[in-house]
Amino acid sequence: MKSKLIASAFLLGIALIANSLQAQDTITKKPRLTIGGYGEAVYTRNFYSDNMYRYSHAESYKDAKGHGRLDLPHVVINLGYDFGKGWTMGSEIEFEHGGNEMAVEIEAEETGEFEHEIERGGEVALEQFWIQKSFGRGFNVRAGHLVVPVGQTNKAHMPTEFFTCYRPEGEFNILPCTWHETGISLWGKLGNWRYEAMVIPALNSNMFNNANWVKNGSASAYEFRVANHLAGVLRIDNYSVKNLHLGVSGYIGNCFNNDIVTNEFSENSPYKDVKGTVVIGTAEFDYKANGLVLRGNFDYGYLSEANLISSWNKNQNHQSFSPYPRSQVGEKAIAYGGEAAYDILKPMKSVNDQKLYVFGRYDYYDSYIPSALTLTDYQWTDRHVMTFGLNYYPTDQIVIKAEYAKRFLKEQYNDEPSFSIGVAYSGFFR
């Protein structure tokens, strides 16, 4: 009898320990469904005119009073799911500038006619949707709609990852941002190194222009993305030095004749052998320690046969409602910048969960550096930007921003000062 009681007590003890371990595992195990996102709201007062003629007739807008604007640059919802056995899914739906709103109204002044009214401009986009199979820390395969991590901003594009109210404008004005394409990615982590290689659709040279170089080349006006040509992307990051991240990335692809209409050129056509090869290289660093944050980036891009592509774009006989800008495009583009910030609350132990960064940022970029064969030069594309401001983090996921920025152009143009204040969040809720 006594031995039976001892055996029963032993089995009961084992069961209690097992239940305890199972409960602990349930608590610590990651949820299979993850929900998150980020969003930002910004008010800006521009102390200059943004009229379309402010560069071609700069003198007429020298004393312009400017205007204020309210904006929702990005509001994003993330959904992810772990299917088990190394299979996961991720998705991201983005509402830019508040999305778009349409309504049907009855116009009393037009005898009761029904009309479609556009209530608000904006965009709704599926920025990510992918399936991933993980074979281990060093090798993962991801396929679907992916963020293209070329440049510092595309790699770290959430509003809590940069200090300015809007994304740093150097990279933002020459590269697609946030750049997302449908393709396949191989990535992994090996020690202090991370790599990622991608195959995606090449850019479309019909969408290039002088103000934004190849930025709009990832856009498609159709229900699908034209992929007559494919492109390659490679990114390598290093974390060997404590608190320091170093990264390089690159892109290469042929962009000419990568549209819904492919053209057959005769032997004597100047466009017969045009490829329009886009090559982009970027480098960046990010240092964080003891309340100090330092960041910097350098981006350089080259477009072969830019003079012929400019001629082709300007002379195409598109109908008036076509999406093409019909603009010159530079052979090269450049952007570099850096920012420094310090958390002035860091020495105060009583508020260690809060942060108040004082920051300064400098950007230089030129979205149109013409080839030697191109006679047209747009000097207003050469810009320097100085920004100073504050970022207050009541928690790591929420930030309130304020800044004063001034864009400096060549002396024949008017400088462009502005003040902005905004609030943003980013994080996973589950």
Secondary structure of residue 330 in the 3-state scheme: coil
Report pTM: 0.86
Secondary structure of residue 76 in the 3-state scheme: strand
- Tell me if 322 is assigned to some domain: yes
The amino acid sitting at 325 is: P
- Tally the domains of the chain: 1
- Residue 27 is predicted with a pLDDT of 43
- Tell me if 90 is assigned to some domain: no
Give the pLDDT of the chain (430 residues) as one tens digit per residue: 544 544 454 444 444 444 544 444 444 456 799 999 999 999 999 999 888 888 988 888 888 888 999 999 999 999 999 999 999 999 999 988 876 655 555 544 444 554 555 555 567 888 899 999 999 999 999 999 999 999 999 999 999 999 999 999 999 999 999 899 999 999 999 999 999 999 999 999 999 999 999 999 998 878 888 899 999 999 999 999 999 999 999 999 999 999 887 788 888 899 989 999 999 999 999 999 999 999 999 999 999 999 999 999 888 765 556 678 888 999 999 999 999 999 999 988 766 789 999 999 999 999 999 988 877 888 999 999 999 999 999 999 999 999 999 999 999 999 999 999 999 999 988 7
CB 338, CB 361: distance < 8 Å:
yes
- Tell me if 85 is assigned to some domain: no
Q: Which residues, in sequence order, are bridge partners of residue 27?
A: none
- Tell me if 24 is assigned to some domain: no
Domain of residue 332 covers 42-71+135-428
CA distance linking residue 34 with residue 428, whole number of Å = 7
Taking the mean position of all CA atoms in its chain, how far away is CA 253?
A: 20
Compute the residue count for the chain.
430
> What CATH number did the domain enclosing 54 receive?
2.40.160
- Tell me if 307 is assigned to some domain: yes
- Tell me if 370 is assigned to some domain: yes
- Tell me if 398 is assigned to some domain: yes
- Tell me if 241 is assigned to some domain: yes
- Residue 266 is predicted with a pLDDT of 85
- Nearest alpha-carbon partner for 182 in 199, 162, 163, 161: 199
